Amino acid sequence: MSAREALVQDWLAGSPWAAWQHSPITGDASARRYLRLTDPTGGTVILMDAPPDLCGSQNRFAQMADHLRGLGLAAPEVLAFDDTLGVMVLEDLGPTDFARHLRHTPQDERPLYEAGVDVLKAIGAAPPPSGLDVMTPQVGGAMIDLAFDWAAQDDSASLRQDITAILTRLLQSVSPAPATLSLRDFHAENLIWRPEQAGGLRIGLLDFQDAFVTHPAYDLASLLRDARRDVDPSLVAPLLARLGPDHTAAFHIMAVQRNLRILGIFNRLARRDAKPGYLALVPRVRAHLATDLRTPYLAPLAPLVDHAFGLNIGAA
């Protein structure tokens, strides 16, 4: 047992969950660790272990959970929280995320994703909490630096500057004044399917501590250009229409911005952080980039990104 694990065990020993059984559950790309705690009657809660020196404060997660619950959505209730130690006990929203459900019941893809878009509409209908970072066009352009640092075949300064400048202009054209809350990692493994519930409570929400303010199409791009599973491409048009009018250009531009950054993050996780499993996801991310760069909205950017990252965009 590591020193960190012993510290968490000592904290649990003084909690109401001291005698509950522990089982690890899949985490995210961060240093956070998750355990499902189960009592003898089958009741469960989730333990989040977020070392403060690696993960920072988890106050934002607790605040965002309160905000989402205030909108009538299913974010987990925080049952106990020690921010100094970096330990949080959360309501367990259920064991079955979208990805797991759809592996067994693929015919449910459209209704699940429609329900996901309805959650995005509910989030977007309310003002975002104060104090969040805002993805202005300039911030969005700068966020793709990771792609050049870790994934580019040509990372020359001039090419980096040209791509960043054009992407910034494209973001300015569709999102000059961002005003919508984005959960930022709104994808199938972070959405818990709860069909026994009604309305927005059918979807449990996870991994929203990095929420920021951006365009309403950003989280739809996260959902439909998922790095971890293939989504039926025929769903894009109806789900865009369900989200609202005139989001098509923004969807494709946000998808390229997001996936360039993810391309850098996954390569960094593999090469710097010794997590080679992320390399298995890179081909899908590259395919998403090629798909969106082929649209007319990205025409000024496509040949430059193709050259920098070797996406072979012309091979549709």
pLDDT digits (tens, 9 = 90+) for 169-228: 999 999 999 999 999 999 999 999 999 999 999 999 999 999 999 999 999 999 999 999
pLDDT computed for residue 30 by the predictor:
74
Q: Which residues on neighbouring strands pair with residue 48, listed in sequence order?
A: 34, 88
pLDDT computed for residue 198 by the predictor:
95
pLDDT computed for residue 274 by the predictor:
93
pLDDT computed for residue 29 by the predictor:
66
How far apart CA 88 and CA 171 sit, in angstroms, is 37
Specify the amino acid at residue 31. A
pLDDT digits (tens, 9 = 90+) for 216-247: 999 999 999 999 999 999 999 999 999 998 99
Rounded to an integer, the average pLDDT of 50-63 is: 93
The answer to whether residue 316 scores a pLDDT higher than 70 is no
Q: Which pair of tokens denotes residue 224? A: 């439909």
> Considering just the CA atoms, what is the radius of gyration of the chain in Å?
20
DSSP one-letter code for 127:
P
Rounded to an integer, the average pLDDT of 17-39 is: 88
pLDDT computed for residue 27 by the predictor:
66
- Report the percent of the chain where pLDDT is more than 70: 98
pLDDT digits (tens, 9 = 90+) for 118-134: 999 999 999 999 999 99
DSSP secondary structure of 79-110: EEEETTTTEEEEE---S-BHHHHHHH-GGGHH
How far apart CA 292 and CA 233 sit, in angstroms, is 12
How far apart CA 204 and CA 184 sit, in angstroms, is 15
pLDDT computed for residue 50 by the predictor:
93
Query: What is this structure's pTM?
Result: 0.94
Contact partners, residue 229, CB within 8 Å, separation at least 6: 99, 102, 188
The answer to whether residue 298 scores a pLDDT higher than 80 is yes
**Residue 277 — φ and ψ, nearest 5°?**
-60, -25
Contact partners, residue 95, CB within 8 Å, separation at least 6: 36, 192
By CB neighbour count within 10 A (0-12 exposed, 13-18 middle, 19+ buried), where does 147 fall? buried
How far apart CA 220 and CA 243 sit, in angstroms, is 8
Domains in the chain: ranges and CATH: 3-91 (3.30.200.20), 98-309 (3.90.1200.10)
Query: Which of 62, 315, 41, 101 lies closest to 229, judged by CA?
Result: 101
pLDDT confidence band for 297 (50 / 70 / 90): very high
Contact partners, residue 111, CB within 8 Å, separation at least 6: none
